[in-house]
Structure 1
Amino acid sequence: MTPVQVAAAASQLAVLTEDDLIRRADPQELNRAEIYPGRMGNTRRTGVGGPSPAERSKLLRRIRRRWRRGDLAA
């Protein structure tokens, strides 16, 4: 990402709360996109329904790859 792209993404993300992200998440769409397949809502690992740190890193890598390919809208 270029510095301008990073700044634009950061400014858009800065206004979002965790509740905003959770409300906007569509588990079925994430599964179809293989961003977080079959694990949405799994509370066994963390106790709060979120990914483990390793899963979170993997998820972010997938999102970055898809964003770079243009598969995700800005």
Structure 2
Amino acid sequence: MRKLVGRNFARLRREKGVTQEDLAVRSGFSQQYLSGLEHGKRNPTIVTLYLLAQALDVDHVDLVRSDSQDS
């Protein structure tokens, strides 16, 4: 699940044209935390997912939606 969230988060961030640094400012999470999340090394809470989705202006479900690499 961590890897899935990380892939979705990185993809959505790139699609929005936002850097990790910009998103850190928007979300209040550190750039290091966001990097760890994208690499599947962080285990975000539901509240964290919600706050990150708000910062990206996406639905929080988009962060946990299954993708073709999900196994």
Give the TM-score of the pair, scaled to structure 2.
0.36
Return the structure number with greater relative CO, CA threshold 8 A, min gap 6: 2
Question: Bigger radius of gyration, 1 or 2?
Answer: 1
Higher relative helix content: 2
Give the TM-score of the pair, scaled to structure 1.
0.35
